[in-house]
Structure 1
């Protein structure tokens, strides 16, 4: 049975929308002020449902350690699963560990491996996504669900349309991602909905060594800087 929807007065909706601008502005200001001080970082995305004994949790933790040892900080969504693994790897390696937590109807708490001064809470997904895209020098995308795909395709679209500068987008786990990647090649490219060269925006890998090689090769050629 469908839940009954409570009717809303359109004038009330308009009034609430106007006042929400100030809350949105506040989230942007707080995010910019805190994120502008973190230095070069790589974002790690993936499922909040991945357990600590899973191979992808362990791989994400290992990748985060290697990233930190190579001079980058780590940004995650601040929650459990792959996000926790990323923060844990950075924390144990003594590096910068940032958590951009989102307030959800179902409970999500910051994981315990985020630097105390680098945990930022958001109500708005779109504000949070701006922080990821603006302050990341790379996206490492582990297996995940809709939220992970949302972040992935947001970045690909912004780079494809030249709204931001190109940066490395690395999909980790070929057994997980190969179906999606093949569909993109066989369906989107063949339908001419994207160009063949758009496939070059994504790297498909399985190991931390490959992740580090892609990041280091890219930044041997390009300068580290915010993306817009």
Structure 2
């Protein structure tokens, strides 16, 4: 049985209420006639206080102060985003256009019949298979010729591409005139001069292919098809030309 002192200590420690009914445990010290009826009926656990949360939510933040320039700032933000998007879109379109142009130039150079690389390889094969060229340069069928373009003016330039120029003829067809050099296995040198005519988008044919030997003698690999037989290809602008790419630009002088 609990005494008064232990219950008082428990009350100070917060384990029981200060209004705990002591009549149930101290009937001799406190007669029932001196206690209120509510202390005689209520059980012990009803007097123990219960903890409830009294913390409330923080108050809402105060409304922002009105900005007189808010409308102007919003308009400026929209204009900035518009120009940023336009600049990015322009850069993307420009990159796509440049990439497409580069791809077109590469494909036209390698695969189109009017490309310099394809024309150069096709003309060199015609020279190697020509009996007249084999006799003039002294090489046997099946031998390979060394071919290169005009030598550069400085010693640092290693690439020597073939010289070529394109123009449109009186018949409305595109024509290309090309010049490069060949050397046989025996060391004999000759200059190859040719003219190619584009008959369609995917086909072309040589108007003539001629070898110019060091003694200025001409040996035709392919006879001229659209000119008299005594046609000399020097009139195409190659040979002693001093202009750009070794060509004589402008009208022909008598």
The TM tier, using the shorter chain, reads: under 0.3
Structure with a larger share of its residues in helix: 1
Q: Which has the larger radius of gyration?
A: 2
* TM score, norm. by length of structure 2: 0.21
TM-score norm. by structure 1 comes to 0.22
